[in-house]
Structure formats: structure tokens, C-alpha cells
Amino acid sequence: MKKNTLAAAAALALLLAACFFPAACGRPAPEGGPPGSENFVTIKGSDTMVHLVTSWAEAYMDVNPDANISVTGGGSGTGIAALLNGNTDICAASRETSGEEKQLAQQKNMDIKEYKVARDGIAVVVNPANPIPELTLEQLKKIYTGAVNDWSQVGGPPGQIVLLSRESSSGTYVFFQEHVLQKQDYAVDARLMPATSAIVQSVADDAQAIGYVGLGYALEAADRVKILAVKANETAPAVLPSEETIRSGAYSIARPLYYYVAAPVSEAVAGFIEFCLSPPGQKIVKEIGYIAVS
């Protein structure tokens, strides 16, 4: 019996240690130079971008057999923290650095450089059974702040709106809050889902649900969910997210994806970033479902 308790306590201890120690042990060495050897590049950050960055890394290593690139996710914030602590060469981020993070960089005397490497559109998705074809940004804002909670208030059949959002740790959450909610808080009963796949799954199951996901994911799941057209305002045309509409700016909910590095960078890092921005690099962006920057 006691063994059980001890095992439970030990498991808890290990779990907590596993959760917290990386953050604590990551206490920065004052000179955060790039780790590893000349040809070794580490990239850490946004989960949204992992697939894209991995594809870049594979293509780059095909043409440069000497290069050794390792890619991990963990989230934009994790990536930026790792960059500031000198634990990664490049941070991939789906949002801009926050004021707090910029301050931290200044304190450490680090020169952080920003590169826009791709663009991403955020699609608003509902259940295929939902007859609504489009929403205005204003309606989306009202829905997500909780001012409107029934589909009949936005031109649909009566029924409670089930709000699905990403977790507050997600870059997509912050972007949506800034650009669609116009910096208002999300409604208190918005369900925060741990992953994009969980949003797609729930929207596919629940007739009254609404969610937002990256365009790449939405297109992949197009047979299970319905992508809504978005009107910038009452009189503007309804626009479905696509490469053209995002590049031209006609579709309102789009964002840049970034690389952050601490200057000066090694030759290997500079070479890789140059590759990502080059025509072959940007072709990979399109293949994966994002939008090229150039």
C-alpha cells in the first residue's frame, strides 16, 4: 500500500521536475553565442511552423550535405526564450516578439534580427451542416467576445454558438485576439483546445461549433469542416482565404511568420536563412499550404 503512495509521490515529483527544470536550468550564460560547431544549426519555436521549417531543413541538407540542422517545436514563446538564453540559433515564431521579450533582449545586450519568411492565413471553420456562408469581422468579434451567443443573431438557425479557440499559449490565439477581437478578451466560456487537430475534430462533430485554424490545416480538413468567407466590413465583398486573397490583402485574417536570430550570426545560419527566402525555399512554402513572402 505504501509503495503505491510513494510511487505516486515520486511520479509527481518527476513530472514537476520534468516540467519546470528546463525553464530553470535554461538560466542564460551571459555570452549567448551559438551552440555547437560551424555547420550545426538549431531551430526552435512555433508549432505551426515545425512542418514548414522541417521541410526547409531537409531540402537544404540535400543540397548542402555538410549542414546539420535540427528543428524542434514547443511554441513561439518557448523559441524566443531559448533564443534569449542562447539555447538556439534561430527562433521560428508565428507572432512578433512582445515588449517584455524585447526588454529582456536589451537587458542582455542582444541584437535581435527579424525575418519574415512566409505568410499564413487563419481560416474560420464551422460544421458542414451550418448553413451560414460568411461572417463579417464585426460579427466574428461579437461571437468571440461573447456579445452574440446564438446563431440566429448572425443569420443562422437558432442554436447556441459553441466557441472553440486555441490555448492562450498559441501564437494563433494572440493573433486572432489582436486582429479579430481588436484586443478585447475572449468570452469566458470559449473552449480552449490544446491542438489544432482537436479544434478540427470538435468542429467536425458539433453542428453548432465555430473555430479558427491555420489555412494549411483547414484545407487539409476541407472534407470535414466548412471554411467561412470573411467580410472586412458590412459593405465589403465576402472573401474566402486562398493564396491570392491573402497575398493581395483582400482576406483580412492573415499573418506573417518570422525567424528571429541574435546578430551576428554564423555562416551556416546566414546560409540557411538565405535559402529559406530564395525562390526554391519559397516554393516549399507554397507546397506546404502557406503563402510565399516574395
Partner 1 sequence: MVPRQVKELGIAYVLMAASFACILIVFFIFLFLFREATPFVAKPGLGTLFDERWIPVSFQQQRFGIYPLITGSLLVTFLATALAVPFGVCAAVYIAEVARPKEREFLKPFIELMAAIPSVVLGFFGLVVLAPVVKAAFNLPTGLTALTGAILLAFMAIPTITSISEDAIKSVPRSYREASLALGATEMQTVWRVTVPAGLAGIVAAVMLGMGRVIGETMAVLMVTGNAAVITLNPLRSVRTMTATIAAEMGEVTYGSAHYQALFWIGILLLAATFILNIVAQRVLRSHQRY
Interface with partner 1 by CB under 8 A: which residues?
Answer: 1-2, 4-6, 8-10, 12-13, 16-17, 19-20, 23-24, 26, 74-78, 81, 84-85, 98, 100-101, 104, 159-160, 162, 167-170, 173-174, 177-178, 183-185, 188-194, 198, 201-202, 205-209
Q: How far is the CB of 84 from partner 1 (least distance, A)?
A: 8
Nearer to partner 1, 101 or 120 (CB): 101
- Whole-number Å distance between alpha carbons of 241 and 250: 9
Q: How far is the CB of 179 from partner 1 (least distance, A)?
A: 11
From the CB of residue 22, how many other CB atoms can be counted at a distance below 10 Å? 14
Nearer to partner 1, 77 or 289 (CB): 77
- Looking up cell 521560428 gives 92
Q: How far is the CB of 239 from partner 1 (least distance, A)?
A: 25
> Which residues make Cβ contacts (< 8 Å) with residue 98, sequence separation at least 6?
none
Nearer to partner 1, 207 or 292 (CB): 207
Check residue 45 and give left, alpha or beta (phi > 0: left; psi -120 to 50: alpha): left
Dihedral, 285, 251, 123, 131 alpha carbons, nearest 10:
-140
Nearer to partner 1, 73 or 281 (CB): 73
Dihedral, 222, 203, 166, 124 alpha carbons, nearest 10:
50
Grid cell for residue 14: 518527476
Say if CB 243 and CB 219 are below 8 A apart: no
From the CB of residue 19, how many other CB atoms can be counted at a distance below 10 Å? 9
Q: How far is the CB of 287 from partner 1 (least distance, A)?
A: 28
Nearer to partner 1, 206 or 243 (CB): 206
Q: How far is the CB of 78 from partner 1 (least distance, A)?
A: 5
Grid cell for residue 210: 465555430
Rg (C-alpha) for the chain, rounded Å, is 21
Nearer to partner 1, 65 or 99 (CB): 99
Nearer to partner 1, 160 or 248 (CB): 160
- Whole-number Å distance between alpha carbons of 31 and 48: 30
Q: How far apart are the first and last CA of the chain?
A: 65
Q: How far is the CB of 133 from partner 1 (least distance, A)?
A: 21
Give phi and psi for 259, each to the nearest 5: -110, 140
Q: How far is the CB of 10 from partner 1 (least distance, A)?
A: 6
Of 199, 179, 151, the C-alpha closest to 95 is 179
Nearer to partner 1, 167 or 287 (CB): 167
Q: How far is the CB of 81 from partner 1 (least distance, A)?
A: 5
